[in-house]
Every structure is written in C-alpha cells, then in structure tokens.
Structure 1
Amino acid sequence: MFVLELTYTADVESIDAVLPRHIEWLREHYAAGTFLASGRKVPRDGGVILAVGPGRAAIEALVATDPFVRAGLTEYRVTEFLATTTAEELAAHRQQLPA
C-alpha cells in the first residue's frame, strides 16, 4: 500500500485552474481500484491519497500522469508500507510481512 503526499509548488489559484482535470484523474483511478481514499491537507497546501498497486515503479509512473504534476504545480512524496492491520472495509488489501 502507498501513501501519496502532494505538496503544492504553485499558488492556489493555479491549483484551482487545474483542479477539475485532477478530480477526473482521481475518479479514473478510483474506478480502477487503485485509489482507496484521498483529500486535501489542512492547511490547504497539498493533499494525500491512499493507493494500492503492483509496486513502487507502477505507482510512481501513475503519479507522473497527475494533471497537477504535468502542469508543474505539485511534488509528490511516495511512501510504501505494509498494511498488515486494516479496518474490515480494507480487509482485501491486508498484506503479510515478508518471511
């Protein structure tokens, strides 16, 4: 599982101009089952996405397709972790520690 932390590198007006395309990008990846949760940080200087995928390289490639990234408006920090304990709603995404 991955925590994707976005940090805005541009003013909020520039972010808001691209926001509709970013939301559509989010919807596509929710529909594909890759994104599990997302939202703005407080204060509004970026956002967070909880994602699943086949590996770090695939997630990093996906991040590069975000309209915010393509427009040069955000930087991402990708943190991979093993979700060994989850709420029942996320049971399908539980992972095992390596042997």
Structure 2
Amino acid sequence: MRYYVLEGTFSTKITDETVLQKAINEHLEYLKNGFNDGSILVSGPKVGTGGGIIVVKCKDIDKFCNDDPLVKAGVQEYRISEFKLHDCQSYLKDWFKE
C-alpha cells in the first residue's frame, strides 16, 4: 500500500454556488466510502480558502483523485505528495500496517 497527503485547491473559475454545493455534498459522500473501508485516515477543509487535506492509503492514487466528485465537476485539483512512514503515534500503527 502507498500513503499520500492530498492537498485540494478549488478552481478560481467557480461561479455557480448550486453546482459547488452539489459537488461538495457528493465529495463528502465519496469520502465516507474511504472512511468506511479504512483507506482514509483524516480529511478536512483548509482554513480560509477553498479546498482541503486528505491523508489516504491506496494503490491507484490517480483513480482515487479522478473519481472524486469535486474533480469530476471541475471544482478542485489535487496536489499529490506520496510519503513513506518513518514513525507515528502508537494508536495509528494499525492504519499503516500493510
């Protein structure tokens, strides 16, 4: 399994608040799937700007990002940073097991 930090940034071309809210609602449902299957460790919006942060483990990060409703709607782009675990709090060790 590979580990990633995703930084989402909203597009500056968003003009329709209805489209934005629909995409956000679908995005939150999409993330629920990741929490339910254990692939997402944390997620949340960035303070003071559009977009958010996700820590995820997966085999195909491009598919994960491209399937996100915010990306499909053209609302958000992701900056992807892969990392290898060096150390973590003991209560997180199970999440990082392969």
Q: TM-score range by the shorter chain?
A: 0.7 to 0.9
Across the aligned residues of Structure 1 and Structure 2, the Cα RMSD in angstroms comes to 1.8
Q: TM-score, with normalisation over the residues of structure 1?
A: 0.83
Which runs of 4 or more aligned residues in structure 1 lie more than 3 Å from their structure 2 counterparts after TM superposition? none
Which residue of the other structure, out of 81, 85, 89, is the alignment partner of 2:87? 85
How many residues are matched? 92
Alignment of 1:29-48 (within 5 A): 29-48=34-53
Which of the two has greater strand per residue? 2
Of stretches 6-15 and 76-85 in structure 1, the one that deviates more from structure 2 is 6-15
Alpha carbons of structure 1 residues 44 and 16: separation in structure 2 relative to 1, 3 Å? farther
1:16 aligned residue (13, 17, 21): 21
User: How far does the alpha carbon of each residue in 1:35-79 deviate from its partner, in whole angstroms, 9 at most, with x for none?
Assistant: 10000001132100000123xxx0111110000011111111110
TM-score scaled to structure 2, two decimals?
0.84
Structure having greater relative contact order (Cα 8 Å, sep ≥ 6):
2
Amino-acid identity (%)? 32
